[in-house]
Structure 1
Amino acid sequence: MTDTSWVEGAEAGPYGLAHLPYGVFSTAKDPAPRIGVRIGDQILDLRALATGTFFLPWIRPAFHEHDLGGFMAMGPPAWRLVRHQLTELLGDARHRDQSATLLTPVAKARMHLPFQVADYVDFYASEDHATNLGRLFRPDAEPLLPNWKHLPVGYHGRAGTVVPSGTPITRPSGQRKTKDGPLEFGPSARLDIEAEVGFVVGVGTELGTPVSPDDFAEHVFGAVLVNDWSARDIQAWEYVPLGPFLGKSFATSIGHWVTPLDALAPARTTAPVQDPEPFAYLKEAERFAYDLSISVSWNGTEVSRPPFAGMYWTPAQMLAHMTVNGASLRTGDLYASGTVSGPEADQRGSFLELTWSGRDPVSVGEGERRTFLEDGDTVVLNATAPGPNGTRIGLGEVSGTILPALA
């Protein structure tokens, strides 16, 4: 099978034949959302492709739906078969004439949320991030709480406020403590980001059925970049004793494109050694992480490059812990890694860490310095990963611009 595509320019960028991420798009001429696969700067219309005989009869109905749910629910046999077919179609120039008419330039497409989010869980899986926050919030105590190295800490988020990249983010308001102590209500003054990687469940489970970490690829369809916007001042007042709520639930942005797990196979790398050894339900026959390099840009200036490969808890362990009590999985469940941070100062995936709680402002270009987000600021997350034969693929970017709080 060929490694190159007949689509012009596809191999020069992050969306070549080795990637083929899925998304949902529409056009001015046809405003109905439909499923497509990205190749270079073009989108192949899978609904149009499914009107013929290209896909097997049992697969075609999934591509007539308005999001990825039906296809994701079909499981690995369908995912691999379709990926194989699309690779052949887009890699063999003999298919150019019949397929070129089904391409839409990305620049002319309107992108939509790629799947309906069933549930949303956010973890806290980076040891560097958890250590930094422990040092900020508990300077006279051990930075990691006693449970942290025994289980992947997480919380249940709000599925209804997961939004696609490019959606403006309205500054949230809530209760907060002032520097002098009195309680007040108003717009968040410490609005932050969290650079994360999310994993999308395709195949669900019955209630009461735990999932082994070794069955990760049987349930998880793919990955997306995530920005879990955070109002740190609202969160600081509300989170004791039950954890994050309004400081997190106002918006979570994800990329337009879901990268299939098979496209990330060349990015698999050995995960960090865990000490102490985890309980049996968290042990993996093959313990692996993904070597993703994330870029965080603030008003056009890159301010951080968090490395995902160093996460203490792996995506497979997060899935196992999320279900060990018998909680069921549903198609469209999204779970995110929590903030990705590395050991170096320029690898911190939140502005709380990057500015050390506002003590150390960062430059965002043209003499501008920031501690937390101001109205009008734009944050863009990108990520790349190793592809085959020394190439690199790129996960779909996540962007958002801050709007003023509502009156």
Structure 2
Amino acid sequence: MKLTFYGATRTVTGSQHMIEVNGLRILLDCGLYQGRRAESIARNRDLPFDASSVDMLILSHAHIDHSGNIPNLVKSGFQGDILCTHATRSLCATMLLDSGYIQERDVEFINKRRRKRGEPPVEPIYTKQDALASLDYFTSQSYHRQRQIAPGIYLRFLDAGHMLGSAITCLDIEDKDTGKHTRLVFSGDLGRSGIPIIRDPETIEEADVLIMESTYGGRVHAPYDEAEKVLERILAETCIESGVVLIPAFAVGRTQQLVYALHRLSDRGDIPHMPIYVDSPLAIDATSVFRLHPEVYDEEILDFMAQDDRHKDPFGFEDLRYIRSVEESKRLNFERGPMVIISASGMMEFGRIRHHLANRISSPKTTILIVGWQAPNTLGRRLLEGA
């Protein structure tokens, strides 16, 4: 068995790892590298292996740094199965199309500048149509079900507790040449205990080979209820000052956690009433996918939903409004506080959050609440470091 680490090595994004065993090439994840524009385009456009030689792809979860280059993989000649959980498949149907749209818009902007310099146009890494075509290769399975994916190779998914549908990949492999049994475990991104909505990460008792993410290394995170107390305090101060809280949030995962937290805080009377806007079409679509997969919810949210009709939808409550149209988003520029605007992208590199920042950042009544990891060389990282 041979392992090659093509992406997410000495960096966080662009997860791509290759297993070669029993004459097969099995790719673990196929994510987009995220960083400076020119470097990202160069690293993502040209795959470091022959796509047509890959027999299958096992996908840990739907975040773009793990799934986002799948359309390019298929466009480049991949014809195998893409194996994942049911919820991951549902999320990718939304997220990859959105990523294709972003690729197209990004190239439009680049080509305007190239035309001014007399340079030829460039093509997007992939299009929405490429993303749509890649969805035909997805096949999904439940957690804990063991499935033979090739002679002598068995796949099982355990809950990684990172986001809806995230999985720890457990591969039991019988080497046809040596007869040796190897259990290879790929963690994908791991969640931590006590995160709302989804179950805690499961543990695997035994592994011969372990490939594990280490985004936060040995950092100890504060308990989740402490983060909620910070949110309570900021919203109380914002209400007094008639201010605005801008929350750049990943459209998938973090936005739903925030909405559910705000629902619970509002329900308990721990935060003052004020308009709360989710201004992100992708987040709206992703929230619809969350509603479709209660089978992966933890007991706490299921108990919350079972209280009465008012709690049946954990992602909807009186003060919350979802904004889809561009016109509605622009109207928020003229709204006065107090209010909360949750918008993508989480690292502030693109999306409607950039317009809200441009419109509000100069006001002393604006609070920018950063709630997710910020990659190097992104606007979010620069703001986090006080640029």
TM-score range, shorter chain: under 0.3
Report which of the two has the higher share of strand: 1
Greater RCO between the two (CA within 8 Å, min separation 6)?
A: 1
Report which of the two has the higher share of helix: 2
Report the TM-score when normalising by structure 1. Answer: 0.25
Report the TM-score when normalising by structure 2. Answer: 0.26
